[in-house]
Amino acid sequence: MWTWIVGFQKEIYLTFAENIKAIAETGNWAAFLAFLPMGVAFGSVHAMTPGHSKALLATYLAGSSVGLGRAVIASIALSVTHVAVSVAIVLLSLPLVNVMFGGSGPGSSPILEHLSRGLLGVIGLWMIWRAVAGRRPSHDGREGVAVGFMAGLIPCPLTLFIMNFAVLHEVVATGLLFALAMMAGIVVTLASVALLTVLFRNQFVRLLEARPHVLQRTSRALEALAGIILLLVAAATLSG
């Protein structure tokens, strides 16, 4: 499965590169526009690889009371931020890129990674406090959107490469269009993760509905555990 994913990504990326070169040389967009829908599949498969904060999203949703609709919105916020940050980095000036990347390797952005995980650590502390204090989890979808935004602050390396390739060949619009197509594919994968997590959590809650006291204690324990995991991830990242 992993070999297939890597091979599929490589094939799509090479085809994208060929189309970019063709547009730069001939100005003919027909082949690229016909190929563009593959960007959705590309993004969806790419989001299955390690990273993209899938585990953090699932952890938060498992410990919260966010419903199906708001879980999807949180996954969309994560996907949009994840891709948009990458596009913004490439389109901004080179000095800013160097600052954001901290002189690290390609596809890595320590400042944004620390900011993302630090903010998630704050959410983790909030969840722990709420569980210990016995406060009912908020049904307000704004918290889920905030988590999605914070988790998505780490840029997508593949989007960075694609945008750089498009900028180097002076056809920025192609990079933007392909990034949008990839974003749609990433949404599909992350939304699927979010929905499955919430459905599993809801099923678990139904099993305990006949025992409300056990359900209450279990819900608080799950929220505290989710908060602890977010806090540990933040601490591990910030400690380097």
Please list the pLDDT of the chain residue by residue as tens digits (240 residues).
667 777 777 777 788 888 888 887 887 788 788 888 888 988 898 888 876 788 889 989 988 888 899 999 999 999 999 999 888 888 875 555 555 555 455 445 676 777 787 888 888 888 888 888 877 665 556 888 888 998 888 888 888 888 888 888 888 888 899 999 999 999 999 999 999 999 999 998 888 877 777 777 888 888 888 888 888 888 887 886
Give one DSSP letter per residue of 45-70, joined into a string.
Answer: HHTTSS-TTHHHHHHHHHHS---HHH
What is d(CA 230, CA 142) in angstroms, rounded to the nearest whole number?
Answer: 18
Number of domains in the chain: 1
Which DSSP symbol is given to 169? T
Q: What predicted TM-score, i.e. pTM, was given to this entire model?
A: 0.80
Domain extent at residue 109 = 2-238
